[in-house]
Structure 1
Amino acid sequence: MSTPLVFIDGDQGTTGLQIHQRLRGRDDLHLLTLPADQRKDPQRRAEAINACDIALLCLPDEAAREAVASIRNPAVRVIDASSAHRTHPHWTYGFAQMDPQQAQRIASAKRVSNPGCYPTGAIGLLRPLLQAGLLPKDYPISINAISGYSGGGRAAVEAHEGPDAAHTAPFQIYGLGLAHKHVPEIQQHSGLNQRPLFVPAYGAFRQGIVLTIPLQLRLLAPGVDGTRIQTCLEQHYAGSETVQVMSLQQAQALTGLDPRVLNDTDAMRLMVFEGEGQVLLAAVFDNLGKGAAGAAVENLNLMLAAMG
């Protein structure tokens, strides 16, 4: 078989640049990007996407939909890093560890939607518990998360690193309309039948995420406690190379959570904290690693392996 041709459409954004850096120099694929004067040329982009084996879309949602609509070659496979297709019924969700069969589904899929950064942590914590029946599907879930400013794309990076950085707020909660675009994705792929309350924030650090979900044990079935929740997560992610479940003893010894502790890795660390009648679920990971570029390359590697 010839070496697969991988086309990155939108390689100048934060995710696209990271993916490009990760793939550059690999000898198991040919990498195609467009020069600056052709990146916004619809005809040239359509030619490139129809000529490749796998396209990685690192584009705004509407541009990603346009790119997919331009595909005429039925052999082209797509990994979309935008949020355009994350709840689409005909696209495979690109979170390989969310289900024992998900990696194989990704490997054989024609259309893969890369997860959002925040949803990776929320779904990683919630889905195993909902599947096991430890959380009712109508539990009133609240999710609080803070991300490095790179999660806001090039504009946020410029605001924090550009000439006016001194005037940028060091911490900012957003999504106050309670209609963040990640909410339907979290609800669908977690298995909730009610919308979760999601409160995101940016901090004055470049990358990294801490995401937490508080639970009231009185609202759960009798006998469900931190130990059972911990065991469920450990069993679900046993053998995973990227998702780590910290032991209860290790979590108990922590006095704080640093969102940057796994930066520049593709790992995600899950933790369970238990207090008086309450449990706090937590996830820490790099929003540009497991939360974006790392997940895209992981999905690409699964698809390439299936091609032989």
Structure 2
Amino acid sequence: MRHKVFIDGREGTTGLRLHEELAKRTDIELLHIDPNKRKDKEERRKLLNEADIVFLCLPDAAARESAQLVTNPDTRIIDTSTAFRTDPNWVYGLPEIHSQRELIRTAWRVSVPGCHATGLIVSLRPLIDAGIVQRDYPISCYSVTGYSGAGRTGIEEYENASPAATKQLIVPRHYSLQRNHKHIPEMQLLAGLAYEPSFTPIKANYKQGIGISIPLFSRLLPKQSTARDIHEALSAYYENERFVHVIPFDSEAYLDDGHFLITACNHTNRLDLFVFGHDDKIAIMARYDNLGKGASGAAIQNLNLMLGVDEGYGLT
């Protein structure tokens, strides 16, 4: 049986990647819209309600509009925007945490996690559930990402820059300095935090790959857990997960002369977790592809669960 799939917003970074991957599958029939009618509401309504599964790869406002156009009770939606990530009527699409995998299997409305949020939640949720990190811990998080995280506009900004602009783009750039990044609400809710984390994203001059860093201090933790304790807890939690790998505590072999390799998971759906530290100082670091596990890879993983096929079908 072939499942009809429509990608609303195929022209964007995530939409293009999804189309490229799903076009290879024999169990998927992709529905296409005439390029001249892609902003025609009635044409979109028709395709949205004809599909078994709809991917919304749109800005928030457009995603909300498209979701309202779906009136077919048999059409299931996977949204890649921020619009529904904290909506209780939608299932958060991160299978590796809590009981999300079973919720995704039977869901009619699934919201794909934000790229930055994925690393923070995967790093912290097991520790908060276990009482190793308290819910009101003052969490700080730094995220270094390739410029594709900003979508088509970010790619164009870097790849078509004038000589004058290139001088500014060659160095990493911190942004959302007012601590108002749109991923913060889902970070707080899905990690189980009592307060918003202090989150600093940093855009750098390479295309893709993301590195999340979360510092912890043993003296502030309820049981004064060590870095090795943190590592053991994460290793046990993700022991049977296909796409989340906890790297051995003695991780020198996975570094580049002591340097963290942010892009080592590019072109895969894998997320690597590291724990570093000694004495009172602990650092959890996550790396993954912001276009893979942080976007289209996660969307396909959710699709597979919803269709009842192997969770890793079509994923590296």
TM category, shorter: over 0.9
Tell me the equivalent position of 2:137.
139
Contact 1:210 1:285 in 2 (8 A): yes
Q: 1:301 to 1:133 in 2, by over 3 A?
A: same
Tell me the equivalent position of 1:279.
282
1:225 aligns with 2:196: no
Tell me the equivalent position of 2:110.
112
Q: Which moved more, 1:274-283 or 1:204-213?
A: 274-283
Unaligned runs of 5+ residues in structure 1 are none
Paired-residue identity, %: 42
Tell me the equivalent position of 2:64.
65
Shift of 1:218: 0.8
Unaligned runs of 5+ residues in structure 2 are 311-316
Write the distance in 2 (CA, Å) between the matches of 1:11 and 1:124. 28
Write the distance in 1 (CA, Å) between the matches of 2:96 and 2:252. 22
Tell me the equivalent position of 1:38.
37
Tell me the equivalent position of 1:194.
195
Contact 1:92 1:109 in 2 (8 A): yes
Cα distance per residue 1:245-271 (max 9 Å; x no partner) = 001112587311121111101100001
Contact 2:4 2:31 in 1 (8 A): yes
Write the distance in 2 (CA, Å) between the matches of 1:34 and 1:259. 37
Tell me the equivalent position of 2:263.
260
1:296 aligns with 2:294: no
Task: Give TM-score scaled by structure 1 length.
Answer: 0.96
Cα distance per residue 1:144-168 (max 9 Å; x no partner) = 0010000001111001111526624
Cα distance per residue 1:110-153 (max 9 Å; x no partner) = 00000000000000000000000000100000000010000001
Q: Which amino acid aligns with 2:306?
A: M
Alignment partner of 1:273: what SS? Answer: strand
Write the distance in 1 (CA, Å) between the matches of 2:296 and 2:94. 12
Tell me the equivalent position of 2:182.
181
Write the distance in 2 (CA, Å) between the matches of 1:56 and 1:143. 30
1:239 aligns with 2:240: yes
Q: Number of paired residues?
A: 305
Write the distance in 2 (CA, Å) between the matches of 1:252 and 1:289. 24
Query: What RMSD over aligned residues (CA atoms) do the two structures have, in Å?
Result: 1.5
Q: Which amino acid aligns with 1:68?
A: A
Write the distance in 1 (CA, Å) between the matches of 2:214 and 2:12. 30
- Equivalent positions of 1:66-215 (< 5 A) are 66-99=65-98, 101-164=99-162, 167-168=165-166, 169-170=169-170, 171-215=172-216
Write the distance in 1 (CA, Å) between the matches of 2:285 and 2:163. 30
Q: Which moved more, 1:44-53 or 1:162-171?
A: 162-171
